[in-house]
Amino acid sequence: MLNISSNSLDPNLKKGKFSSLDYVESKKSSRRLIRVMISFGIVGFLILFLPWTQNIRSRGDVTTLKPNQRQQSIHSIIPGRIEKWFVQEGDNVKKGDTILFLSEVKDDYFDPQLLSRTQDQLKAKEMSVNSYMEKVKSLDNQIDALSQTGRLKYEQAQNKLKQANLKVISDSMDYQASLINYQVAEEQYKRMEQLYNDGLKSLTDLEKRKLTLQKTRAERISYENKLLTTRNEVLNAKVELTSITAQYRDEVSKAESQKFTALSNMYDAEGAVTKLQNQFMNYSVRSGLYFITAPQDGYIIRTLQSGIGETIKEGAEIVTIMPALYDLAIAMYVKPIDIPLLEEGQHVRIQFDGWPAIVFSGWPNVSYGTYGGTVYAIDNYISPNGMYRILVAPDINDVTWPNALRVGAGTSSMLLLKDVPIWYELWRKINGFPPDYYKTIDQATTEISKNK
């Protein structure tokens, strides 16, 4: 009975009539309860000083470490019509294995001999280029011959002009001599005529002098005419010299014009050859695109197109393939407030969906069924879900991840931070403080700081 009043009922109560009351009062449970509570209090107080590993819990999924190892879709580069399938979902394919065969749907490529006909056109254009090149060479030779002939003709004309000038000098000297002879003969005739008039000479002598005068006069006129003819030859030689220069310049210019025309045609033909070569390569590459092949070893996950005779557009997705060889990683997301607490190489404990585990978040060493990982990369830009993505790679110093693990499986991860007492962690949680921030220091850096 509880003694909560000064008026006690014990004297007036006959306890023998109440067996249950006698049983209860005979028990000494209050002392035991106090001892148990004190024991639990002591144990709880000691537990508060046990070490606790601060951590950041996050959900994620299994992915691959490299982009080329992730699931990808195979597209059709050209439009076409599905003619034959060579695989089905779940098949294992090797790099280069044929997945699908397409036929052409554009009328520009219907010709079954398109490549051979294009190659014939290419050869014809190449022969045209060679012909123009030979024509250019011939015109070069013609220009060289004309230039050399022109130089020889010019030298010949120059020599002829020099000869004419020398002949002018010679004829001029003859003309001057004839003039002197004429003057001498004229003076002799006058003296002879005076002597005849004086009766000192006969008429015969006078007539001889007169005949001599006439001869010298004729010689003077002849030499003068010859001089004029020679001077005319000089003018003709000069005209011929100028004519030769103009003639061969015109012929060389005409040959050069033909040469440049041939070069222009050759360049046009070379452009056509280049265009046909490009077209031929495009046709050749396009003919190889009718067979859709596997870009790497992997497994066909899902076919996005189906049926026979169905047409697909350019760039359409055909199948989804998963690479056979890949390096697993974990993509987990953390809140922006926790980003300053993370760094590359930080240890992570991971629980995979489908693998049983007993997890003690504060005591990762006693957890069962978890696997180790290290922070491999931290995104610098926030994800659409408002959190930052963290890429976690397997820890080579920990237990190997399960072989049956597949890309896309869910995970529950713990980013391990600083070790603190439990009482401190409870106090931090109650006050809403973030976990403690710390940096891992390399051993080499520590030794350097100690030496300093």
pLDDT digits (tens, 9 = 90+) for 108-153: 888 888 888 888 988 998 898 899 899 889 989 988 888 888 888 8
Q: Could you read off the pLDDT of 388-422 as tens digits, one per residue? A: 998 999 988 888 888 888 888 888 887 776 666 77
Q: From start to end of 353-408, where are the E strands?
A: 371-378, 388-394
Say which CATH number the domain at 354 has.
2.40.30.170
Q: Is residue 108 part of a domain?
A: no
State the total domains in the chain: 4
- For residues 295 and 330, membership in a common domain is answered with no
- In terms of domains, do 280 and 220 share one? yes
Domain that includes residue 375, residue range: 52-67+326-451
Residues 314 and 385 in one domain: no
Split at pLDDT 50, 70, 90, the class of 3 is: low
Residue 109 lies in a domain: no
Q: What is the mean pLDDT of residues 162-172?
A: 85
Q: Please enumerate in sequence order all residues whose Cβ is within 8 A of that of 190, keeping only pairs 6 or more positions apart, or say none.
A: none
SS3 47: helix
**Which of 236, 268, 288 marks a domain boundary?**
288
Secondary structure letter of residue 106 according to DSSP: S
pLDDT at 450: 43
Domain match, 281 and 265 both: yes
Same-domain status, 311 and 176: no
375 closest CA partner among 391, 396, 361, 387: 391
Query: Is 4 inside any structural domain?
Result: yes
pLDDT at residue 87 is higher than 70: yes
Q: Do 282 and 133 share a domain, yes or no?
A: yes
Same domain, 92 and 224: no
Residue 319 is predicted with a pLDDT of 92
Q: Are residues 316 and 338 in the same domain?
A: no
Residue-wise pLDDT for 12-57, tens only, equals 555 556 666 666 555 555 667 777 888 888 887 777 777 766 667 7
Rounded CA-CA distance 322/73 in Å is 9
Q: Which of 236, 264, 288 is the last residue of a domain?
A: 288
Q: Does residue 267 share a domain with residue 238?
A: yes
pTM summary value: 0.56
Does the structure show a pLDDT above 70 at 213? yes
- Asked whether residue 138 falls in the same domain as residue 274, the answer is yes
pLDDT surpasses 80 at 236 = yes
Residue 425: its pLDDT value, please? 67
Residue 295 in any domain: the answer is yes
Residues 142, 272 share a domain: yes
DSSP structure string for 1-27: ----SSS--TTT--GGG-HHHHHHHH-
Residue 7 lies in a domain: yes
Residues 249 and 170 in one domain: yes
Q: What is the CATH number of the domain that holds 83?
A: 2.40.50.100
Secondary structure of residue 287 in the 3-state scheme: helix
Evaluate whether 63 touches 338 at the Cβ level (below 8 Å).
Answer: no
